[in-house]
Structure 1
Amino acid sequence: MIRCNENHWDIEKDMPDVTGKVAIVTGGNTGLGKEIVRQLAKRGAKVYMASRTESRALSAIEELENDHPEIKSKAGIVFLQLDLTSLASCQAAAKQFLEKETRLDILINNAGIMATPYELTKDGFEMQFQSNYLGHFAFTHPLIPLLVETSKDPSTSVRIVQVSSMGHNFAKDDVSFRSDLAYSETVNREFGTPWARYGQSKLASILFAKELSRRLADHRIFSSALHPGNISTELNRGTLQSYPWAKPVFKVIDLFLITPYKGAISPLYAATAEEIEKNDWRGEWFDPLAKHASPSKLAQNAQLTQDLWTLSEKIVLEKCGTLS
């Protein structure tokens, strides 16, 4: 477990005002995502809560507005339908957003699942790989032109944040994203353990952040990935499906997990802190809490990064017929 440095950046003291900015947070209706939405909305951003289940999202929005009445007097929180297990839904969500907004300052790809039993989505891909990475790729890709356009506004600093995990270290050394191989030989491999599949998905999110940074190097857009910390949220539901016998163990582990508030420090730092741009941190990795660090060697593999982007474009074109 990574020790948390709690002295570097404080939400209450250091997070800037974000009035006038537009943000999207995927998986924003619960846990870490909900806390991120709370803090952005409190400070004036218009926040799109991207979530699969409308009733849960609307309930979360109502709760946040009741807890913080000032949110209603500011830009507020808006529900955005997004099902990461459907690539078509991901593109539809991006299209819906683009029809409503003329700017996008902050995109936080937070939603995810962890160590779930082996299962394929209706698109035909390993559930964790699509939920944690591929769906976010399909959602983000159509938003890139608007992110670029927004970056021309001198009053903003555009951020793209991938909430990854130290679990990317569980990825097998022979992981492959080659587009000339069958999916059964790449992203749909079982690997013998749900943790290795989780590692593959979180490795992919880091590689995604790096490739976005490379492709957007000429723009005022700062892409990053991070491990928010070991947080007490609903994320362990999938793990308990894989290991139902471990429920008593997880009850003990939960006593040592950090709160969603603390977990939100690193994502909010990457999304708003001035020093990200000051230090020109592009495609960088952050440990909790808001500590600039380095991911695994696999996560710094340039060939894997290029292979993943090529494969992702191939998949989305194959399943949706378009990248936008």
Structure 2
Amino acid sequence: MNFQKIDPSAKKHFTFDKIPDLSGKVAVVTGGNSGIGYITCLELARKNSHVFILGRNIEKCQAVVVKIKSETGNQNVEFLQLDLKNLKSVKECAEKILARDLPLHILINNAGITTNTFSLTEDGIQEEFGTNHVGHFLLTKLLLPKIKASQPARIVIVSSHGHKRIVESGIEFEKLNDPNAQSPLQRYSISKLANILFTNELNKRYLDGELVYANSLHPDTNMLQRNDFSVPESIMSSSISSEDGAITTLYCATSPEIEEKNFRGKYFEPFGVESEKSSFAQDDDLAKRLWDFTENMINEKLPQN
């Protein structure tokens, strides 16, 4: 699978100064304490959005809240604890957001992990699949009533062009918890494919006729370099900074073009340029199977949901 390098001219398509004023808007961002998540929160706050930063590390996230408030002058920046590896934590966090007398215009599922070792979440789900997909699936479904009540609204799901590395068998659900079934890079790629399939099916099941625009993207940052497993040069050679990586997220979250062109279930690469998904990421049957598989898993792990 070949990966197309980013065209430098694409950078002109969307920039931070094209973000409209977001006064009165409320945004929720997972993993907002570092990398593109931090830049995303910073720029949303700079444009006057009320920003909720969701993360696991209390100390780090609270420090980021203070930093963003100081840099932007926007005091409507808050932290809520969220551990995507723990479905109970996801439910509790969503309940806190739902309890607030505030709308929700922007949900950005940004947090993600990749690791070179096999492990399970507290709920017994393969870690990357559980964190990158299942946790965000539950969070989004729980927040959806508030999002729909606040429309026009956006749901932004940070995926990766790593999803294109799944070229043989799609998602083999029965093997997700098998430590010997996939390489570390394959496990990550499967979770990123799941992000896009979730976006596709979310639009079909819940957002038809609604002014809620759900799209996925590849930020092209160097997340995979944080691990010591082998990553093809074709992937890593074009990686960009967190600042540039956040531009595509912010395009999907704020650009008037999304509504003007009725972008739904689209996949974007830097810098807010629509791109082609893999064949598996366009598989409607696989998307339906993933949705049902994920719902059944959550109901099994979190019956009170």
Distance in 2 (alpha carbons) for counterparts of 1:219 and 1:258: 34
Q: How does 1:27-38 map to 2 (within 5 A)?
A: 27-38=31-42
Q: What is the CA distance between 1:170 and its match in structure 2?
A: 2.1
Number of the residue aligned with 1:294? 276
Number of the residue aligned with 2:240? 258
Q: 1:201 to 1:254 in 2, by over 3 A?
A: closer
Contact 1:172–1:196 (CA under 8 A) maintained in structure 2? no
2:177 is the counterpart of 1:188: yes
- Provide the identity percentage: 35
Q: What is the CA distance between 1:257 and its match in structure 2?
A: 3.7
Root mean square deviation, CA, Å? 2.1
Number of the residue aligned with 2:82? 82
Contact 2:171–2:190 (CA under 8 A) maintained in structure 1? no
Contact 1:177–1:307 (CA under 8 A) maintained in structure 2? no
1:50 alignment partner, SS class: strand
Query: Structure 2 counterpart of 1:38, which letter?
Result: L
Moved more, 169-178 or 95-104: 169-178
TM-score normalized with structure 2 length = 0.91
1:264 alignment partner, SS class: helix
Q: What is the CA distance between 1:228 and its match in structure 2?
A: 0.8
Q: 1:166 to 1:199 in 2, by over 3 A?
A: same
2:253 is the counterpart of 1:271: yes
Q: What is the CA distance between 1:115 and its match in structure 2?
A: 4.1
Contact 1:222–1:281 (CA under 8 A) maintained in structure 2? yes
Q: What is the CA distance between 1:255 and its match in structure 2?
A: 9.2
Q: Which of 55, 60, 75 is matched with 1:56 structurally?
A: 60
Query: Structure 1 counterpart of 2:278, which letter?
Result: S
1:71 alignment partner, SS class: coil
Query: Structure 2 counterpart of 1:54, which letter?
Result: I
Cα-to-partner distance string for 1:145-196 (whole Å, 9 max, x where unaligned): 1111111xxxxx3000100001111225213366xxxxxx243244331011
1:169 alignment partner, SS class: helix
Contact 2:121–2:127 (CA under 8 A) maintained in structure 1? yes
2:92 is the counterpart of 1:92: yes
Number of the residue aligned with 2:139? 139
Distance in 2 (alpha carbons) for counterparts of 1:144 and 1:30: 25
Distance in 2 (alpha carbons) for counterparts of 1:306 and 1:3: 31
1:261 alignment partner, SS class: helix
Q: How many residues align?
A: 297
Cα-to-partner distance string for 1:22-74 (whole Å, 9 max, x where unaligned): 11000000111000000001111111000001111001111222323x223xx
Distance in 2 (alpha carbons) for counterparts of 1:236 and 1:93: 30
Contact 1:123–1:319 (CA under 8 A) maintained in structure 2? yes
Distance in 2 (alpha carbons) for counterparts of 1:296 and 1:132: 19
Distance in 2 (alpha carbons) for counterparts of 1:82 and 1:170: 29
Number of the residue aligned with 1:202? 192
Q: 1:321 to 1:158 in 2, by over 3 A?
A: same
Contact 1:116–1:128 (CA under 8 A) maintained in structure 2? no
Query: Structure 1 counterpart of 2:89, which letter?
Result: S
Structure 2 portions without partners, runs of 5+: none
Distance in 1 (alpha carbons) for counterparts of 2:153 and 2:182: 39
1:294 alignment partner, SS class: coil
1:176 alignment partner, SS class: coil
Contact 2:45–2:68 (CA under 8 A) maintained in structure 1? no
Distance in 1 (alpha carbons) for counterparts of 2:243 and 2:62: 21
Query: Structure 1 counterpart of 2:12, which letter?
Result: N
Segments ≥4 residues shifted beyond 6 Å: 253-256
Q: What is the CA distance between 1:140 and its match in structure 2?
A: 1.1
Distance in 2 (alpha carbons) for counterparts of 1:97 and 1:304: 31
Distance in 1 (alpha carbons) for counterparts of 2:163 and 2:304: 29
TM-score normalized with structure 1 length = 0.86
Cα-to-partner distance string for 1:71-90 (whole Å, 9 max, x where unaligned): 23xxx211011000001111
Number of the residue aligned with 1:214? 204
Moved more, 187-196 or 84-93: 187-196
Q: What is the CA distance between 1:302 and its match in structure 2?
A: 0.3
